[in-house]
Structures are given as structure tokens and as C-alpha cells.
Amino acid sequence: MTIEAVLLHPSKNVSGNLRWPGELPEAERGALESAIISLRAKGYWASAFPEGDGVTFSSELKEGYNPDRALADFRETFSFLTISMLDKNEGLADTLARFATDRTVMCRYLTPVESIRLDTAIELGETRFHPPVDGYEHRLADHAWQELCDVVGADANPNWAPGAHASGTTELLAYPLIERTVEVPLALIYAATGSYDAQTPLLRLVLEDADSALDPIRFNTCHYRKLHYLPAKPGWIGDTAIVYLMPQTRAADPRLLQGKPYVLRVSNNWLGLQVDETLSGPNPLADIVDSTDTDEITLALKAALRAWNRSFYLVDLEASFLHLVYATDALCAPGKLTGDRQRLWISAFATGGDAARFATLLDAFDQHYKLRNRIVHEGKTFAALGLAGEDQCQFMLGVLASCIRRFSTEGFASRADARDFAFKRLNEQALASVIDGMVEPKFTLPLAADKGFKKHMGL
């Protein structure tokens, strides 16, 4: 592993620095101590940063400091580093960001979420939700993050609550907070110190993770017929996104990130969502959100659950509808099955082989899928078609939700397992009678003899 470092020469009364991104790997820490001893023997005073990401130094040479000689001395003594000079046009933050390619660091974070009401702190998988400090039901002394308050004397006042002019980390205490841990590219942390706008990539990454933490809650409580109960996107207070980031490394300090990472966003200016403690505890959907597994089924479930939740925040209902249709296809993977075959395939997952539900859903799904074709190929809108878009979206939301539950509860080990499940259901006698009754089907019965299904199943 090559570790790049940059040398900053001393000037006047300011010591010089040797900097590298993050803490050194364990294997190199002994080499660092030896290098500092060798550098002192060459006529320099040197000391490692307590943060573990550099060395400060000055010259004790009688002939004074020579930049070229210093660079050579450092390259000789710190042979485990690839040392270059700082390009002032690039700056230290961007240089360290460039050096930190492929390195990550775990970060705990806190970010507010409006349009959500909490009676108590709850845990959902690896996420904690904290109610705001209000001075009576939720006091500062009882808040898990009371350390965020920097108001003198607040801890001595049991009725203290953040006022309208609260700022900094204190302002966070006025809102429900999401607490999670996320893996962050180290390069983003360094780049974010460069300017206000440079925080945008880091803010976006954290806010997306925070939004995924709300997925299990929305899945159980939200729908298109009551959009006024939809929680706001996490992170925003008014027109500004705020995150308190705490990198779990000595090399980066906790910091309050503030910015406007998106030009456009959707917010709920109605009631918002009441969340109670019954949601706290084990939750299979929270397990999907928190999982670090990279098998194809886990990744497909993560993507489907995210799509289910993202659909609410697409302003045009036609976009939401198409988003849900495509997400359902992506999860159930009909491949090259089209027309009636595709409808059968999706309906098998959505109903799990329940004949009564299958008969009802199959026809309704076919009608809704035809809407997809009119929106995509004819540019139609729900208004132009004389339809309530919310109802159409709610139908597809239900189909995708049923498929997500099926994949989650069946515990498929692979795409092949999922295919076998659907094909087995379609060939069971209970569904065969429904399929036999289809008007002008465009497939061969039995399905095991159908060319399209045989190719899809590799028969």
C-alpha cells in the first residue's frame, strides 16, 4: 500500500508539517517513531501529531533551513511514504482528498427530521430516533446528546428549551434527531473543509443514508391517499441542510456541516407523521436497511425498499408510478418475459400463490401496466386519462410492497431460488385454473411447455 504525503516548509515563526491522509496503518506506526528519531539526528526538531496524521517540525541546523535538503532528508527518513511538495494552487484540503483515494472511515452522525413527532426515543435496527428538547416532556438532562448544548446555564434550568435564535449544535436539540453510523470516503471529509460548496457531496451521502433509516417507518405507515402524513426528508431546517458528523478516527474532528446540497427538494408542510414506541425493536425491514451483505437478493431488496420510499418524493405522480413499476420489475426480474407472461410472473410473487388474490391482482395489474405504456409511449398524464394519479400510484405501491414482503419472508438464497418459487406457484393447480380461464392468452399451456417460460427457466 502506497501512502502519499505532502511536505509544507516552515516559514518565519510557523513550524513546517508533513501531512498524510488519516491515521497510519498499524504496520507503519513503528516506522514513524523510528523516522522521527532519525530526523532529529539530522538536525531537526520533530514531533508526531497526536491525531496520527502528520508530523510537525522545525530546523535546528546551524546553517539554517534548506528546502531542497529538507525534502531529501524527509524522503530518506520516511521511506515508507511517497513525499511530494504542496502545490499552493491545489491547497492542502484538496491534496489530502486526492491522496485518500479508496480509504474510508466510519462516522456517527446526527441530523434533524421535520414533520415527524416522537413521544420517546426509539431504536429501529441500528438507528436511534431522539425526540426534541421541549423543557417539559423531554428535558435537556434526559437527552442522550445534551452535550450539543453550548448555552451557559442551560443544564441548571430544568425547563430550558432551544429558542427561535438557537444556532450551531444547540439548534439540533430543537428537532427530532436521527442517529446512525455510516461509512464515508475519507476524501469527502478532507474536501469538505475546502469551502461551503465543497460540503455538498458529503452532505448528500449522509442525508441519503438518513433517509434510508426512515424506510421501515414509511413502509408501515405511509400511502398516497394520506400524503399529508409523510415525513419530511431528513437533514433540513428551513432552507439549510444540517448534519453533525463525528468521524471515528483521531485524524478528523467532529464538525457541523451546513449547506444547500440540492437546488430542488420536496417538503411536507402539513401534519407530518406520529411515530410511537411500538415501532422500536427488531424489524426485518430495518435489517434490510442495515445489512452490509452484497449478495444479489439483499442488494435487490435494498434497491426495492429505497424505490418504494423514494416514490413519495417525486413531484409528478406519473414519475412516481413509473418508478414503482420499474422497481417491481427490477426486484422480480421477469427478464425477457413480456405481456401476459410478465403479468403472471409479477403476480406470482405479489400473491405467493393465493388463488383468490391472484385472480383479482392479475387483471388489475394488467390494466395498470397498460397505463405505463400510455405514459411512456404516448406521453399521457393521469389527468389526460381521467384518472386520479394517487390511486394508480397506491396500487403499484401495494404490488411492490407485497413483492418486498415475499422476498423478505421467503428468504431466497439466490435469484435462481426466487425464479423456482414463482414458477412453482404458477404451475400449482390452484393457479392453473385461473390461468386457464384467461381470455386469449399469448402463451402455451402448460407453462412448462411454453417457449418463453422454458427459456426464462433454462429448461
Residue range 399-419, pLDDT digits in tens: 999 999 999 999 999 999 999
Q: Are residues 268 and 411 in the same domain?
A: no
The half-sphere exposure of 299 on its side-chain side, counting CA atoms within 13 A, is 6
Establish if 152 belongs to a structural domain: no
* Residue 439: band (very low, low, confident or very high) from pLDDT cuts 50, 70, 90: low
Establish if 202 belongs to a structural domain: yes
Q: Are residues 376 and 441 in the same domain?
A: yes
Establish if 66 belongs to a structural domain: yes
Q: Which is nearest to 70 in space by CA: 61, 62, 79? A: 61
Report d(CA 358, CA 362) in Å as an integer: 6
Amino acid at 208: E
pLDDT of residue 149: 96
Establish if 138 belongs to a structural domain: no
Q: Are residues 127 and 250 in the same domain?
A: yes
Q: Are residues 196 and 344 in the same domain?
A: no
Establish if 162 belongs to a structural domain: no
Average pLDDT over the chain, rounded to whole?
Answer: 93
pLDDT of residue 1: 66
Amino acid at 305: L
- pLDDT over 80 (residue 118): yes
Q: Are residues 212 and 124 in the same domain?
A: yes
Beta strands in 127-254 (DSSP E): 127-130, 177-185, 236-237, 240-247
Q: Are residues 59 and 125 in the same domain?
A: no
Q: Are residues 315 and 421 in the same domain?
A: yes
This prediction has a pTM of: 0.91
Q: Are residues 432 and 347 in the same domain?
A: yes
For position 39, which CATH number holds? 3.30.70
Establish if 149 belongs to a structural domain: no
Residues 51-97: tens digit of each pLDDT: 999 999 999 888 889 999 999 999 999 999 999 999 989 999 999 99
Report d(CA 151, CA 149) in Å as an integer: 6
Q: Are residues 264 and 412 in the same domain?
A: no
Establish if 109 belongs to a structural domain: yes
Report d(CA 70, CA 83) in Å as an integer: 11
Given 255, 289, 323, the domain boundary residue is: 289
Given 41, 76, 99, the domain boundary residue is: 99
- Residue range of the domain that includes 190: 104-132+175-289
Establish if 168 belongs to a structural domain: no
Report d(CA 116, CA 7) in Å as an integer: 49
Q: Are residues 231 and 307 in the same domain?
A: no
Residues 245-296: tens digit of each pLDDT: 999 999 999 999 999 999 888 877 666 777 877 777 778 999 999 999 999 9
The number of folded domains in the chain is 3
Q: Are residues 412 and 453 in the same domain?
A: yes
Q: Are residues 89 and 112 in the same domain?
A: no
Which three cell numbers, joined as nine digits, stand for 275?
A: 411515530
Given 240, 269, 289, the domain boundary residue is: 289
